[in-house]
Structure 1
């Protein structure tokens, strides 16, 4: 019994004990001087009981109540009726309760002996309510529909919006459509009726703004079966200044410079023809002299693309200049490798490589395309930021060096993609490489979220990186959002908001930065949401439960019992001299 007793004010134990001892000493000294030996024993007993009663009133003892409830089935969306029927037969007297997201769980859940959770499970922000409760998660099968979806929310004008994913149990004859604003059909895939079907669709982005695309499933007669909302943000294309240095003219640079120039970037290309002769090309920019590399020459450029032969031909002072510009000015450097680059060492060779037998790269993003590659892959180590990692290998990456980056890729002869008609794959590869490695303009704030979109009255979490010492973030309605500073990274802050309106919402950082995010009305959940809930519940719940473990409710002992005992003792001390 004593093991079931806890004190709600246990943290006050030491000061209360000190006060009780002092009070007991004062009472006993008083009674010792006034009472005889026989009377002192009686009075000291009353004093002791009175002081103990006062102590218990303050400490507030409570008792663990044994669980009297039976077993409970908590029904969440997606539960299988057949599974519930089987559970009813196995567990006599099973009580059923429906789960409502965002609301407290029924009180019977905490007092039950065992809780069976059926369906996809509780939403992640409600899982804390199951802490300490012995429960068994009887998850259901993966739902039908789009169970995996990958696309880029933040894009630039001129990019392709590439939407790819995996559909479970598609129905033959149905179609999956990528629709733009105004429900205009832009691309489509016919479902084949197999167990799983990978799909990929794309559309060019031509104007900046915040848009709503949708992934819509329709039957043979054109009726809408399901619709997934895809919020997309399109910003103006950032025009970069790029310097390309080659030890000799190459097909790779020939096609690359044309692609970059068509994208609007300013280019200077220097290709060595003979020992002291160079060919210069200027695209979208004025002519400038490029001799020995100095800080003045490199300062206007956001990205330096150099082949490995040029890198080996730089003088020591030129390498120092490049290193200083990377560390101090944020210059990006992309190295086009050759056969000897992967085993060379030097100031600018900060990435490590491992031998890899396969000289072709297959990627689910381009299942019908094989990229030529050198027989190496980039070694995964501290500081490596992946750009392209097909399978378990890293084909393209960069590493921070001070304010800037140095990156490379193991691709070879990517220009052959253009000759084979794979223009889109070529654009995607090089757009990603250029975007990741080039110098970024200084930004007062950087926002990041895990979720693609939010739901009304559900928590939407975000991260904010800023050098501002005490950032102040508000919603579009002017409500302040409390921020929590990361203990290890002082410029990283985290916050949570509960949006109340559907559509595009906005967050303000003081008056210097804003962030837009889309909020769905929550009336129609997506298959992807169900899959994420199912996976979160699998991580949270144990596979097995142990009978009798977990939380059992506490019932405080009524303090009137102790106070009444105190009054009786005080009355006894008052009456004793009169008897």
Structure 2
């Protein structure tokens, strides 16, 4: 409530209630003073009583002085401002009342050094227009600048990475893409892994150069890759780190149906069991007779397929002859498992799959909807797999004398070095169906190259695996830095989840999460890394997410571009409100409560002394 120049924060209803209470208290005290037989100093007693009650009321109401606040402009110097830009701006016709600096390395005598933007907002409320010099501020810093208009006078960023993207969490065998854009450069851009160069490209004095490095991590674990750029004369321009967490494929229940014993199945089952997958195998040994194997799985009847049996599995691996020999009802159960329950299916390429011909059966088009290009007069093909750029080593393999044709809905999984598709995946409602032309992958194991066997099968199985959507942590793409906030996102069905952050040294922090108003399964929180190194965030029951916090001076060019983008965006938004900042606006200054307390003390002291003497 305002009485120019006095303002009381309390509303009308609250003020009325307090005023009525004060009136009755004052009336009662005055009536007590009047009824005293001693009539001396009556007027002074009444005055002291009124002063005490009024002072008590003002202590509760906390009144404020209303003053006129003249809006002024200021300059904020941020990192990236050069001396000539600063001098030219000072000598311009723009009139500013203050000059502030956030650049600790610059020496501008006219500027007042401040720790952050929030300091200016708190201590200089009259400043409503700021001219930003340099590269600007991060998006999280602009959250403190409500009610301030901005004009951005940007500086050019350093030559380096402008944009960068990679998937931080991948499964073993999954191909990693490191994509980005280099502002300008003349030299060699390299991606280095633990074992040396993974991928590279030559840049010949180009601007806005886009790159896309691809590789397959050799093993599970935490990895740091380095993105390095050197000029043609060998000068190092930058060396940036890319953090990566490679995890095993989630444990799956896999059913293998084969028409005859195969060496491929023998080595595959051993690898799957070693990876803690549950494997059940039914092998036909003669007409109507089967052999059964159970690895990491309890025994179960397998003579006939049932809907309950199929619901117990995540993936079925079946060759063309076995698929053809099933009854119509069994094929229909597998079809329903794929479309309705998300069952994955890998169809092993044999003559039924590749040649077709008169080998027709019900739902053939559903299971074998792949088109092939045949290489005549070849018994097999020797190919080089581009899916496994294995620390600079290209994997050679033997393949069927066919290639999978491009088709709508087909996702290529593995290609050879000529671009021919060797393995692909197609969606079937909730599930996936895949086939591969790679022949005898077990020979990698026999040749002492079991890592290639692991990468190949991890890639295939990862494509067919069901997504585990029970709990998922996410952070924004790009590097993470010490002393800069991370927005953590958690998708979970838990009622009240809490994040646990653990550092390399074993220090743990609790992260309290806020539930999204629209999506009840979405939770978010903020964390500020304090030290360089690996961090692990998880809940008590969920899968963790790892990330690496880098020094604040890393990825300079990328950070400069991020600041420029955030500042330009804020300047555009603030320009829409700039007219409202040009007026003289009121400012409310709280009156010190000490004065009211002294009045209350003085009134009560007089009443006490007056009764004594």
TM-score over 0.5 (shorter chain): yes
Shift in Å at residue 201 of structure 1? Answer: 2.1
1:31–1:51 Cα change, 3 Å:
closer
Residue 488 of structure 2 corresponds to 462
Is the CA contact 1:152–1:161 (under 8 Å) kept in the aligned structure 2?
A: yes
Shift in Å at residue 506 of structure 1? Answer: 2.9
Shift in Å at residue 563 of structure 1? Answer: 4.3
Residue 218 of structure 1 corresponds to 230
Residue 123 of structure 1 corresponds to 138
Shift in Å at residue 212 of structure 1? Answer: 0.9
Alignment of 1:234 with 2:234, yes or no, is no
Residue 556 of structure 1 corresponds to 590
Alignment of 1:175 with 2:205, yes or no, is no
Is the CA contact 1:75–1:117 (under 8 Å) kept in the aligned structure 2?
A: yes
Shift in Å at residue 207 of structure 1? Answer: 2.1
Is the CA contact 1:228–1:526 (under 8 Å) kept in the aligned structure 2?
A: no
Shift in Å at residue 561 of structure 1? Answer: 3.9
Within 2, Cα distance between the matches of 1:44 and 1:334?
Answer: 95
Residue 298 of structure 1 corresponds to 310
Residue 63 of structure 2 corresponds to 61
1:20–1:575 Cα change, 3 Å:
farther
1:145-184 to structure 2, matched below 5 A, reads: 145-169=160-184, 171-172=185-186, 174-181=187-194, 184=196
1:326–1:205 Cα change, 3 Å:
same
SS at 1:105 equivalent: helix
Q: Deviations over 1:232-277 (max 9, x none)?
A: 12223557566799xxxxxxxxxxx99x97997799999xxxxxx9
Within 2, Cα distance between the matches of 1:532 and 1:283?
Answer: 56
Within 1, Cα distance between the matches of 2:4 and 2:317?
Answer: 72
- 84-93 or 515-524: which moved more? 84-93
Count of matched residue pairs: 482
1:408–1:78 Cα change, 3 Å:
farther
1:45-60 to structure 2, matched below 5 A, reads: 51-60=53-62
Alignment of 1:96 with 2:95, yes or no, is no
Within 2, Cα distance between the matches of 1:70 and 1:222?
Answer: 51
Consecutive unaligned residues in structure 1, runs of 5 or more: 246-256, 271-276, 337-348, 350-364, 366-370, 379-386, 388-394, 400-404, 417-427
1:560–1:299 Cα change, 3 Å:
closer
Residue 75 of structure 1 corresponds to 77
1:177-326 to structure 2, matched below 5 A, reads: 177-181=190-194, 184-237=196-249, 294-303=306-315
Alignment of 1:406 with 2:430, yes or no, is yes
Within 2, Cα distance between the matches of 1:396 and 1:111?
Answer: 63
Within 1, Cα distance between the matches of 2:515 and 2:174?
Answer: 34
Q: Deviations over 1:11-69 (max 9, x none)?
A: 8x856753442231243255468759xx9999988866654443222222234554457
SS at 2:24 equivalent: helix
Residue 87 of structure 1 corresponds to 89
Within 1, Cα distance between the matches of 2:253 and 2:177?
Answer: 26
Shift in Å at residue 299 of structure 1? Answer: 3.7
Of 325, 332, 344, the residue aligned with 2:343 is 332
Within 2, Cα distance between the matches of 1:550 and 1:238?
Answer: 63
Is the CA contact 1:457–1:500 (under 8 Å) kept in the aligned structure 2?
A: yes
Within 1, Cα distance between the matches of 2:426 and 2:127?
Answer: 53
Q: Deviations over 1:535-559 (max 9, x none)?
A: 3333444251233469976421123
Within 1, Cα distance between the matches of 2:516 and 2:246?
Answer: 34
Q: Deviations over 1:58-102 (max 9, x none)?
A: 222234554457421112223466654453303134532122676
Is the CA contact 1:24–1:48 (under 8 Å) kept in the aligned structure 2?
A: no
Of 456, 473, 485, the residue aligned with 2:500 is 473
| Superposition TM-score, scaled by structure 1 size | 0.64
1:109–1:216 Cα change, 3 Å:
farther
Shift in Å at residue 210 of structure 1? Answer: 1.0
Within 2, Cα distance between the matches of 1:323 and 1:6?
Answer: 73
Within 2, Cα distance between the matches of 1:396 and 1:80?
Answer: 55
1:227–1:4 Cα change, 3 Å:
farther
1:147–1:244 Cα change, 3 Å:
farther
Q: Deviations over 1:337-359 (max 9, x none)?
A: xxxxxxxxxxxx9xxxxxxxxxx
Shift in Å at residue 189 of structure 1? Answer: 1.0
Residue 450 of structure 1 corresponds to 476
Is the CA contact 1:241–1:300 (under 8 Å) kept in the aligned structure 2?
A: yes
1:432–1:550 Cα change, 3 Å:
farther
CA-based RMSD of the aligned residues comes to 5.7
Larger radius of gyration between Structure 1 and Structure 2: 2
SS at 1:147 equivalent: strand
Within 1, Cα distance between the matches of 2:495 and 2:98?
Answer: 54
Within 1, Cα distance between the matches of 2:545 and 2:520?
Answer: 21
1:24–1:218 Cα change, 3 Å:
same
SS at 1:192 equivalent: strand
Shift in Å at residue 153 of structure 1? Answer: 1.8
Within 1, Cα distance between the matches of 2:161 and 2:339?
Answer: 43
1:525–1:505 Cα change, 3 Å:
same
Consecutive unaligned residues in structure 2, runs of 5 or more: 36-40, 104-114, 258-263, 274-278, 348-365, 367-386, 388-404, 414-423, 439-454
1:189–1:568 Cα change, 3 Å:
same
Residue 126 of structure 2 corresponds to 111
Residue 343 of structure 1 corresponds to none
